[in-house]
Amino acid sequence: MNNQSVLVVDDEPDIRELLDITLSRMGLQVTCVEDYTSATRALLADSYDFCLTDMKLPDGDGIALVKYIQQNNPDLPVAVITAHGNMELAIDAMKAGAYDFVSKPVSLDKLRNLIEKGLQTSSRPTETTSSSKYQIIGESKTIKELRKTIKKFARNQAPVFIEGESGTGKELVARQIHTNGARSEGPFIAVNCGAIPGELMESELFGHLKGSFTGAINDNPGMFKTAEGGTLFLDEIADLPLNMQVKLLRVIQEKSIRPVGANQEESIDVRIISASHKDLANLVEQGQFRQDLYYRINVIGIRVPPLTERKEDISILVTYILDKLSQDNAVSYSIDPEAIVALESYTFPGNVRELENILERACAMSDSDRITKQDLHLPDANTPETAVGLLEKTSEMEAQALEEALKENKWNQSAAARQLGMTLRQLRYRCEKLGLLKNS
């Protein structure tokens, strides 16, 4: 551990001795103190790489110490030891800035794992990596604040809830939190809760044993075990059925799962990040989402702004997207200033994802490498339908027309393109996007 040091704060001599022995065997330098006052003096006198404090102290509590450290040494990870089953205090501690918590009676294996990851957090650079594959593009005030928030929340293990409209980049934010935290070497597993059939959800999330139900021909570890040591991203968590919400709540509280068909629970080491484009607070009021689960997953909340709130980023995003498309297609794309103005005037109900789709389609359909305003084919802002719904209808009609032309020409793409009055390149692009080439 390279002589890294840990400050232990607990008023029970037996606990201090146990922690001292355990951490010393990990190759750590350990300083043990018995109360809040002694802890603040130790923090002023020396520097530490990690702090472990009991919740109840003779002259204060662990949350007060967490707040003190946040104000005076925000880069120091601090974990709190809580009484068994006292999740409310554990959540309060994490809201105050604690890295994580461990419940009494203390499991030494869980404690070692927690401290090892905390020390990794302490030694990691605090700046987000611009070379990351998953960058958050933009220089608007809201995006700069979002990057600061990500940097802060990446340093602890508290559950995070990300809210934002469809297409704003919620998974991108989740990946950035993972990439810049102590779990970056572990897996990042993304699950769309709305895409899993209800009858398979428990098996997909928690795993199952062979023979536990009809069709279970092999053991399945499940998403939680697959994400072991890393991050599990539960997208569209509002779509979880109520019975699964109860089970997820227990997993978060107990940090363990029980696969379908198993008799015993298995410990897990996973950070949970969830997201939804729906208003969870409103769903709680309507009785469609459990209030207790809402409080558990929303220990830390992040809002991803829609594109309409960061229009100054559109030109930057356009440049980034076109550069990527240029690399992918070995073509140097550019765009007219008039087209940029048109994009900045558009409302983007589909947000950044819609901008990407518009530019990708324009590059494929244009006869030139320079994108014009006409190439964008932006939906009419005066239409009563939303742009997203309009695009869906257009795609259905386009798919029907393309399929009919291909069938009439016995799936000869060149002949179908001539019939439709488009280039072969344009036809292939549209067919690939609409999944029509599988029969050719």
| 260-275 pLDDT per residue, tens | 888 889 989 999 999 9
Domain 307-378 in this protein, CATH class: mainly alpha
Q: Indicate the pLDDT class of residue 385, thresholds 50, 70 and 90.
A: very low
Is the CA virtual torsion 62, 65, 71, 75 positive or negative?
A: negative
pLDDT band at 128 (very low <50, low <70, confident <90, very high): very low
Q: What is the pLDDT of residue 123?
A: 62
Mean pLDDT to the nearest integer, 128-142: 75
Fold assignment, 141-305: Rossmann fold (3.40.50)
Q: What is the mean pLDDT of residues 217-241?
A: 93
Specify the pLDDT at position 392. Answer: 54
Paired residues of 312 in beta bridges: none
Residue 290, both tokens = 């459990």
The yes-or-no verdict on residue 177 having pLDDT over 60 is yes
If pLDDT is split at 50, 70 and 90, which confidence band does 217 have?
confident
**Is the pLDDT reported for residue 423 higher than 50?**
yes
Q: What is the mean pLDDT of residues 391-417?
A: 77
d(CA 11, CA 5): 20
Contact 361, 394 (CB under 8 A): no
Q: Please give the class, per CATH, of domain 5-123.
A: alpha beta
Q: Considering the chain, tell me which residue range(s) the CATH 1.10.10 domain(s) occupy.
A: 382-440
Distance of alpha carbon 394 from alpha carbon 182, whole angstroms: 45
Higher pLDDT pick, 398 / 131: 398
Span 58-66, average pLDDT: 93
What integer pLDDT is reported at residue 390 of this predicted model? 44
In the chain, ranges of CATH 3.40.50.300 domains: 141-305
Confidence of residue 2 (pLDDT cuts 50, 70, 90): low
For the chain, the average pLDDT equals 87
Q: Where in the chain is the domain with CATH 1.10.8.60?
A: 307-378
Ranges of CATH 3.40.50.2300 domains, the chain? 5-123
pLDDT at 383: 47
Query: According to the model, what pLDDT value does residue 387 have?
Result: 45
Residue 97, token pair as written in the block: 């800035």
Q: Is the pLDDT of residue 76 over 70?
A: yes
Q: Exposure pattern of 65-100 as b/e (b: 16+ CB <10 Å)?
A: bbbbbeeeeeebbbbbbbeeeebebbbbbbebbbbb
pLDDT of residue 291: 95
How large a percentage of the chain has pLDDT more than 90?
57
The tens digit of pLDDT for each residue in 273-305 reads 999 999 999 999 999 999 999 999 998 999 999
- Model confidence at 325, pLDDT cuts 50, 70, 90, reads very high
Q: Mean pLDDT over residues 232-246, rounded?
A: 95
Q: How far apart are CA 212 and CA 380, in angstroms?
A: 54
The pLDDT score that the predictor gives to residue 125 is 52
Give the integer Cα–Cα distance in Å for 177 and 146: 11
The domain defined by 382-440 carries CATH number 1.10.10: yes
- 327-375 pLDDT, tens digit per residue, is 988 889 999 999 999 999 999 999 999 999 999 999 988 888 999 999 9
Coil/strand/helix, residue 340 = helix
